[in-house]
Structure formats: C-alpha cells, structure tokens
Structure 1
Amino acid sequence: MSKQPSKRLWLLTSAALMAALVFFVLWASVSQQPVVEVQVDGTTCYFTEPSFELRWIHSVEKQWWEEQYQRTDDGLLLTTTYFEAFGAGTPSTEALAPTKKPGYLGYQINEKLPSLNWVVSRLTKGELNYADHRLLVHEWAPDYSEVTITPKTYHLIDRLQKDFCHELASDGSR
C-alpha cells in the first residue's frame, strides 16, 4: 500500500505543475505592458517609464532645448518645452510652464502626437532621458539619422526579444 500514496502524490504534483505551466503560457500570451519603443539606425530598444525628455542644442540659437513627453494610451503627449534662448520660431502663445532650471524659459504645450520622428546629429548632441538614464542618441547613429519614438504595447515574448534602451552600449550596439 505504500506505493499507492507515492503514485497518487506524483500524479497530483505533475497535474499541478502542468496546470501552472498552462496558466503561465496563457498569461504570457495575453498580458501586455505599455512601453515606449525607440528605433535608430537599425537598433530597436524600449523603456517602460511613462515619461521622458528629448534634449538637444538648437542649431541656430546654439542653446539647449528640452521637451518633456508623456506616454498615453493613444500616443505621446508633448507636455512642456524649455529653452535657454528665445529666438525666431520659438512658440510664445502657450502658457508659461513652471521654471525647472534657472536660466530656462518654459511653455506648456500639451500637444498629442501618434509617434515622434526626430533627426539627430553630433553637432546638436541629441539625447533621450528617462528615469535616471541619459541616452546619448547622437552617438548611436550617423549624423542626420532618424529616430522613431512610438508608444506600443509589448507582450512578454516581445520584451524578451528586445533590449532596454539603457542596456545598450552608448553607441547603440548590443
């Protein structure tokens, strides 16, 4: 009789493990996580933080320009823009944003975009910042390369196939 309980225990354990495996596979196939996907010069990476900043040196004013974005369910929201110098083409009809840095002027923009295409060069020193990560995008690709920033929803398998942006080397290589 001692063999009977061992066999029953083994069958119950096997059935529980199979059920757990089926549950995990189903969960992995349906669970999704919102991310921001970045594509530049053949490299694709992502980050999960809902907000980020683009920062570059303006080609005419030669001063830093910063834009803050928020990931939304249906795109990106450009919330504010900050700059050190005021010149031609600078928006001036929007409400002033709270000053985040001494010497900067900011405007509240609140413009929705489905995605963002951004051209970078070494001269403008374009960078993408999120959480505590500073990504020097201008070092990833040749001058005048287009960076595509898109809000997406990744399944677990998508996340396993792509890298976090901050895990890439500064030149965008793996």
Structure 2
Amino acid sequence: MGFVLQPVVEVRIKGLEGSDDKVCYFVEPDFQLRWIHSVEKQWWEEQYQRESDGLLLTTTYFEAFGAGTPSTEALAPIQKPGYLGYQINEKLPNLNWIVSRLTKGEIDYGDHRVLIHQMVPDYSEVVIMPKTYGLIDRLKKDLCHELPSDGSR
C-alpha cells in the first residue's frame, strides 16, 4: 500500500530569509491560474494540464488586450463571455510565479479556489510542478485547499 504512486501537482511556496518552504498539493490534472495584470488591471487566466513530464499551458484568457498579450495564436475553441481566449499548447517543466496582494493571484482546481495571494507575503515565489507522491509523501503534506488562507499553520 505504501508503494502506490499518485501523480499530483505540487505547489511550493519558497521560504523567506531562511524559513522553510511551504508545500501543498492537489491531485486534479487540470487547473487554472488567475491574476490581475499589473498594467492592464484586468483579469488574466491561464489553463494548464498536468502531464508526467511537465505542465501543458492549454489556453489563455484575458479581459483586455495590451502589452505582452499573445495575438498570433489560434482562438481558443471555447470562448468565455467578457474574455478573449487563445489556444497556446506550450509545454513547460514547471512554473515559477511571483505572487502579491495587488495582483490577487489564485489557483483554481476541481471545486476549489486557493487565494494564494492571501497565504504568502507579497512577492513570494511559488513553484508549481508535476510530481509523483507515494502514500507517505501524501500524509506528510497538505492539500492546498486545506491550508489556512491567512498563511498561518
């Protein structure tokens, strides 16, 4: 039973000034990152799929068009009201994401919305990567949606 392996998405919040990293995980293969773009001040959403050797950025949705906005990609097959969506299909080994209260970063998966910006100090680095956990690993770590939203333990 301890040898059963389960693919997960691990979320590692880098510790500040010598403190330990916080680590949580979720088992759903599809997830979305959402944040408010620092220049446009509009929501930006990226949808991902966990794969065995990385993450696949499938689609990007945004409310406003501006600097850094992809415009040469094919339109996403499913459009969301109030958003423009593009099909991206870019493979990444992991994500390194800087989170702050101003950008209101969140991770959505399954029926859960994790307000990561409320759990960490401003400008914290969050690393998101596919992993495989055994039973012991899963027992030692928390599901991301079970962490307190104010960052306490």
Q: TM-score range by the shorter chain?
A: over 0.9
Structure 1 Cα separation of the partners of residues 50 and 152 of structure 2: 25
Written as runs of structure 1 = structure 2, the 5 A alignment for 1:52-91 is 52-91=31-70
How many residue pairs were aligned?
147
CA shift digits 1:54-109 (9 cap, x unpaired) = 00000000000000000001100000000000012111111000344211000000
- In the other structure, the counterpart of 2:136 is 157
1:128 lines up with 2:112 in the alignment: no
- In the other structure, the counterpart of 2:11 is 38
Structure 2 Cα separation of the partners of residues 161 and 105 of structure 1: 40
- SS of the aligned residue for 1:102 comes to coil
User: Which residue, 86, 102, 105 being the options, matches 2:81?
Assistant: 102
Identity of aligned residues (%): 77
- SS of the aligned residue for 2:73 comes to coil
Structure 1 Cα separation of the partners of residues 42 and 88 of structure 2: 20
Q: Which runs of 5+ in 1 are unaligned?
A: 1-26
CA shift digits 1:39-66 (9 cap, x unpaired) = 1142100000001000000000000000
Aligned CA RMSD, in angstroms, stands at 1.0
Runs of 4+ in structure 1 off by over 3 angstroms are: none
Structure 2 Cα separation of the partners of residues 71 and 99 of structure 1: 20
Does structure 2 retain, via aligned residues, the 8 Å contact 1:53–1:67?
A: yes
Structure 1 Cα separation of the partners of residues 74 and 26 of structure 2: 30
Structure 1 Cα separation of the partners of residues 101 and 127 of structure 2: 17
- SS of the aligned residue for 1:170 comes to coil
1:160, distance to aligned residue in structure 2 (A)? 0.6
Q: Comparing both structures, which one devotes a greater share of its residues to helix? A: 1
1:119 lines up with 2:93 in the alignment: no
1:47 lines up with 2:26 in the alignment: yes
Q: Comparing both structures, which one devotes a greater share of its residues to strand? A: 2
1:142 lines up with 2:115 in the alignment: no
Larger Rg: 1
- In the other structure, the counterpart of 1:9 is none
- In the other structure, the counterpart of 1:12 is none
Q: Which runs of 5+ in 2 are unaligned?
A: 16-20
Does structure 2 retain, via aligned residues, the 8 Å contact 1:43–1:172?
A: no
What is the one-letter code of the residue matched to 1:36?
A: V
